[in-house]
């Protein structure tokens, strides 16, 4: 009764031109990981609601029991939490329109389907699996032949009384067109002859996705339904269901396709061959959750000022539904990587160190290092935290390297003077008691001046011997500081042995 009053009130307000509370819902099926497309749908539904002071509902649609994956519901909860999409109602927090898991609402759907039969919008179908299979073999591209559509009521009653298995199908109009308005794509019209009499209630008593979706959206007072544009031509089925019941049709918002770049420069629908397509996969590759949220918001939506960096709070304030584009959006991994790097550089050193610590530990173990020095070196350089172990791998183990690494034209080093530089550096460093970066810096530069060589002539062979690679994050002094005295001198002596 409360729900009926609320619905009547909203209709009254809409007729008067008053503000109606916007309610959107994210209704995933727990069938695996969270795909980028699913996450974008959730994000846009969240932003449409929150940008207008509305409510965002989470509903778990588990009517397809055969495709359920154990643990997938928890993946949904975890993903929404990580990206910050806090729902106002849902299975875990409740709400006045629950339950919010479709399997827990099973008893709701059959009465509505039977009511639709009474209203003339649906019918009982008693066709056996064998008949349907034979029909499919005869016409692989045709739909159901509507064999049971016009069975006499007496025959239907007899079959029901006999316990004959059945499904309930939607009775589609055979002529004319069905038209609806989409916020993004405008007016969409479909010839009714193209619409198959789809199943609403399966033989096991469970509703199909299409039917449960409409019933739940109506009962939960969802005002805006957001989905991918691949559903543009199937939406008339939903519209006809609303109309058959005499219910208000919600506002439809169809989102453009997400495409991926192919090796030849062309684009096709985003798939695994383009790279990670799940939230978990992107996180594993080192992209941060707020960055993924930021980037996905830009897939099909353009802010008015062409800004690119957004926090979730920024998006809630800036998002407008009229900024959604019809054009396909291309998922550009290079752009995502750039955005991730920008986000990392915008962090405070303390924030970066906290996020990077698991990767630091992967290289240095549980010992203590000058973490602030590491952050100073890496924060301007890395675009993904997962790069850290590879970038710092020479700290964990000195790689094998050839003697010609010591030869560097710019630093004016060769095998002969590199040997002299290492001998002098080892003597100096062995007598150094204060192993701090400032002390190392001043002492080595003083040594270069005393030897009458440029700084690079001394520091290049020191860095090569300490790191074993020609490209390093940070210079010789930083590397020596992080290695510590004993390991630094050990490596420099190994380098000397190559000359």
- 272, 313, 326, 412: the catalytic one is 272
How far apart, in whole angstroms, are the C-alpha atoms of residue 342 and residue 337?
9
CA atoms within 13 A on the CB side of 432: 25
Condensed to tens digits (0 to 9), the pLDDT of residues 191-222 reads 999 999 999 999 988 899 889 999 999 999 99
Instruction: Please say if the pLDDT value at position 153 is more than 50.
Output: yes
pLDDT at 13: 38
DSSP 101: B
For the chain, the structural domain boundaries read 105-255, 258-345, 347-396, 403-497
- Considering the domain delimited by 105-255, tell me its CATH architecture: 3-Layer(aba) Sandwich (3.40)
Encoded tokens for 69: 């994956």
List residues bridging with 259 in a β-sheet.
Answer: 269, 330
Condensed to tens digits (0 to 9), the pLDDT of residues 310-363 reads 999 999 999 999 999 999 999 999 999 999 999 999 999 999 999 999 999 999
pLDDT at 206: 87
Residue with tokens 């959750």: 289
**∠ CA 174-179-184 to the nearest 5 degrees?**
145
Please give the helix or strand (H or E) that residue 39 lies within, else none: helix 36-50
List residues bridging with 15 in a β-sheet.
Answer: none
Encoded tokens for 351: 């924030």
Instruction: Please say if the pLDDT value at position 11 is more than 50.
Output: no
Encoded tokens for 267: 């684009």
Condensed to tens digits (0 to 9), the pLDDT of residues 261-311 reads 888 878 888 887 777 789 999 999 999 999 999 999 999 999 988 889 999
Task: Check if the beta carbon of residue 335 is closer than 8 Å to that of residue 295.
Answer: yes
pLDDT at 262: 85
Task: Check if the beta carbon of residue 407 is closer than 8 Å to that of residue 415.
Answer: yes
Q: Which CATH class is domain 403-497?
A: mainly alpha
Condensed to tens digits (0 to 9), the pLDDT of residues 363-392 reads 999 888 999 999 999 999 999 999 999 999
Active site annotation includes 272: yes
Q: Which CATH class is domain 258-345?
A: mainly alpha
pLDDT band at 140 (very low <50, low <70, confident <90, very high): low
Condensed to tens digits (0 to 9), the pLDDT of residues 181-194 reads 999 999 999 999 99
């Amino acid at each position: 009764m409360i729900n009926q009053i609320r619905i009547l009130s909203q209709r009254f307000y809409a007729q008067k031109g008053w503000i109606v509370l916007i309610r959107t819902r994210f209704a995933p099926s727990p069938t695996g990981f969270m795909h980028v497309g699913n996450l974008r749908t959730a994000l846009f539904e969240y932003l449409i609601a929150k940008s207008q002071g509305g409510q965002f509902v989470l509903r778990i649609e588990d009517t397809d029991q055969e495709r359920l994956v154990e643990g997938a519901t928890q993946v949904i909860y975890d993903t929404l939490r990580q990206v910050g999409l806090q729902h106002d109602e849902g299975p875990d927090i409740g709400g006045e329109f629950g339950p919010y898991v479709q399997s827990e609402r099973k008893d709701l759907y059959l009465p509505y389907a039977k009511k639709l039969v009474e209203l003339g919008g649906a019918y009982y179908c008693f066709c056996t699996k064998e008949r349907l299979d034979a029909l499919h073999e005869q016409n692989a591209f045709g739909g159901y032949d509507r064999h049971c559509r016009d069975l006499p009521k007496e025959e239907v009653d007899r079959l029901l009384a006999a316990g004959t298995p059945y499904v309930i199908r939607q009775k589609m109009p055979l002529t004319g067109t069905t038209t609806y308005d989409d916020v993004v794509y405008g007016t969409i019209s479909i010839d009714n002859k193209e619409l198959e009499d789809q199943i609403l209630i399966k033989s096991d008593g469970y509703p199909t996705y299409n039917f449960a979706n409409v019933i739940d959206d109506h009962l939960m007072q969802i005002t805006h339904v957001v989905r991918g544009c691949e559903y543009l031509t199937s939406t008339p089925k939903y519209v006809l269901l609303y109309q058959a019941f005499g219910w208000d049709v919600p506002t439809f918002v169809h989102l453009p396709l997400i495409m991926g770049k192919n090796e030849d420069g062309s684009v096709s629908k985003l798939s695994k061959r383009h790279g990670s397509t799940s939230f978990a996969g992107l996180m594993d590759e080192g992209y941060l959750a707020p960055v993924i949220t930021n980037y996905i918001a830009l897939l099909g939506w353009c802010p008015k000022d062409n800004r690119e960096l957004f926090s979730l709070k920024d998006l809630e304030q800036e998002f407008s539904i009229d900024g959604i584009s019809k054009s396909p959006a291309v998922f550009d991994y290079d752009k995502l990587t750039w955005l991730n790097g920008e986000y990392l550089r915008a962090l405070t050193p303390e924030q970066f160190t906290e996020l990077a610590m698991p990767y630091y530990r992967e290289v240095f173990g549980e010992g203590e290092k000058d973490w602030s020095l590491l952050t100073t070196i890496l924060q301007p350089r890395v675009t993904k935290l997962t790069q850290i172990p590879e970038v710092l791998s020479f700290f964990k183990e000195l790689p094998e390297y050839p003697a010609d690494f010591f030869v560097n034209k710019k630093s004016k080093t060769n095998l002969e003077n590199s040997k002299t530089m290492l001998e002098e550096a080892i003597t100096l460093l062995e007598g150094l008691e204060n192993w701090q970066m400032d002390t190392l810096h001043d002492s080595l530069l003083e040594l270069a001046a005393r030897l009458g060589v440029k700084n690079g002539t001394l520091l290049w062979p020191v860095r090569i011997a300490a790191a074993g690679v020609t490209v390093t994050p940070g210079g010789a002094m930083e590397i020596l500081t992080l290695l510590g005295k004993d390991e630094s001198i050990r490596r420099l002596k190994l380098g000397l042995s190559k000359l």
